Chain A
Amino acid sequence: MTDKRDFPNFDADAFVGGVLGRTTGGACGRAAEQLSDLMDDRLEGMDRQLVQAHLEHCTDCRELAITLGWLNPLLPQMAEIQPGPEFLAGVLARTSAAAQPVVHSEHPTGLAGAMDRVGQWWAQRIIRPEFSLQVAYAATVVLVLLTSLPGSPLRGVPGQALEVVTAGPQTLPVVGPALSQANDWLEVRTDNTVDAGYEQAGNYWQKFENGLNRRADRTAASRNELSNHWETLVDQAEARDLSGVGYEILAALSSWGTVWDQWWHESELTDGP
């Protein structure tokens, strides 16, 4: 057998890498699978020896093993992070003021219950800085829309308010009529919207109900036929007449097909809402 000293430029790692590349492929994947077990001292016998042998020759895997060894004692130290005393105060405020344990609280039902729950929800969130900012942002958007959209009730109010501030008390009479006008506008709009909503919903429902009745009438005969086939099928089954059962199943399926076609043939139902 030839000794490697006969080849002064022989690179054993490159040679093994070449052979693995042409046969099984690199062994790093397999080594990585077992590295965690090795670090946890759960790898024994031949498996342990093989991974250790790989680490002797593979720089990448060795570095990975070293990093794993560095991580092992560090991770359990991260099990707790102390947030500071204000955190405890926040939790106690939220749990004592707003969130009683479910079993101890007796929530009223109905509208009162809903208002109670909304109140609790608000109390829990408003103490959070992020939520307060979100509420402030939403309120600003609403205010801008109310004061800037064409036709909106408060359009022009900021300008008038600015006039009051800059011009002094003599402009105060402008504000009263403007607010009164805005209030009238809002009342009329609200009444109109509610009335129109009721009327439209009523129309839709009437249309839907009419379509349903027409379909029920149209399919009455075939539904009756389907029902007869079903009853006969049950009788045949009780009499253990398999050929009769088979016939009735086919007949029932055919009747069902007719009902289906008649039901969906027209588009009354889709005319609805």
Chain B
Amino acid sequence: MEIESANPRNHGQGAIDRMQVDQTELLRRCQAGDELAWEVLVRQHQGRICAVAYGYVGEQDEALDLAQDIFVRIYQRLETCIDAEKFVSWMLRIARNACIDHLRRRKARPPRQDIPADDMVGLKHGGPTPEDRLISSTRQRMVHRALQKLSEINREIIVLKDIQGLPLEEISGMLDLPLGTVKSRSSRARIELAKAVTDLGGGPENQPGAEAMS
């Protein structure tokens, strides 16, 4: 199976963009302990894993730590992935489980005295913050903030279905919910997200240059 690198924005991924890598062979080499193959695999999927982690935890440093943990888990379980064509969904399943474990541990910890996100605007100085570098688009930042206001299950469905594009059948298996339930929840989750965006003052009317519904 040949898959082109998914995202042209990837750092240092130019060579991977220009070539097509046989994913089956890549996976086999990773399983055999080939460091170069593993590096290419991480480069190919780091954007996706970071996005999943950020979607779940909503905080940059935490998401990057978590994304590293996810890759370590993936590496330790590489041998259990026997079908390269299903590698992405296998990987997302591991990522999802790691995020859920992380959120459970976070709930068990006492809450940190964080500065509210809105107050941090006043603390900005000069150059871009790490958050700015991570999420370049104002619209995407708005949606991420709205995502954190959703219920856990709705947030999961948005991350897995609407952002990562997994088919409903796969999400149903991953969340251990009937297909019909996932379908109806998916519609409701998007409505909830749209309402959260509106409540935060976002949406097409407040984003100059953004396209409105035709």
Contacts and interface: CB of A to CB of B under 8 A. Distances in A.
Nearest to A75: B162
Contact of B68 (A33, A65, A78, A91): A91
Contacts of A79: 6, 47-48, 51, 163-165
Contact of B187 (A36, A67, A96): A36
B33 A95 contact: no
Given A68-B190, A79-B164, A91 B71 contact: yes
Contact of B198 (A63, A91, A124, A130): A63
Contact of A80 (B7, B72, B212): B7
A36 B190 contact: yes
B154 to A, nearest CB: 12
A37 B187 contact: yes
Interface stretch (B34-42, B94-102, B113-121, B174-182): B34-42
A87 B46 contact: yes
* Residue of A63, A64, A70, A85 with highest tally of chain B CB at under 10 A: A70
A184 B196 CA distance: 65
Say what secondary structure dominates the interface of chain A. Answer: helix
Contact of A88 (B43, B203, B205): B43
Say what secondary structure dominates the interface of chain B. Answer: helix
A75 B142 CA distance: 11
B12 A36 contact: no
B71 to A, nearest CB: 5
A70 B135 CA distance: 18
Contact of A82 (B31, B46, B211): B46
Contacts of A92: 35, 38-39, 42
Given A74-B139, A85-B11, A66 B204 contact: yes
B105 interface: no
A39 to B, nearest CB: 8
B195 interface: yes
Nearest to B197: A67
Nearest to B158: A75
Contact of A83 (B76, B134, B137, B186): B134
B56 interface: no
A63 B210 CA distance: 15
Contacts of B51: 78-81
A100 B31 CA distance: 10
B38 A94 contact: no
Interface string A96-138: 1011111110000000000000000000100010100000000
B106 interface: no
A85 B12 contact: yes
B198 A64 contact: yes
A79 B71 CA distance: 17
A88 B212 contact: no
Interface of B: 6-7, 9-12, 31, 33, 35, 38-39, 42-43, 46-48, 50-51, 54-55, 61, 64-65, 67-68, 71-72, 75-79, 133-135, 137, 139-140, 143-144, 158, 162-165, 184, 186-188, 190-191, 193-195, 197-198, 202-205, 207, 210-214
Given A71-B194, A83-B47, A103-B79, 9 more contacts: A66-B203, A66-B213, A68-B213, A69-B213, A74-B143, A80-B10, A83-B50, A87-B46, A92-B38
Interface of A: 32-37, 63-71, 73-85, 87-88, 90-92, 94-96, 98-104, 124, 128, 130
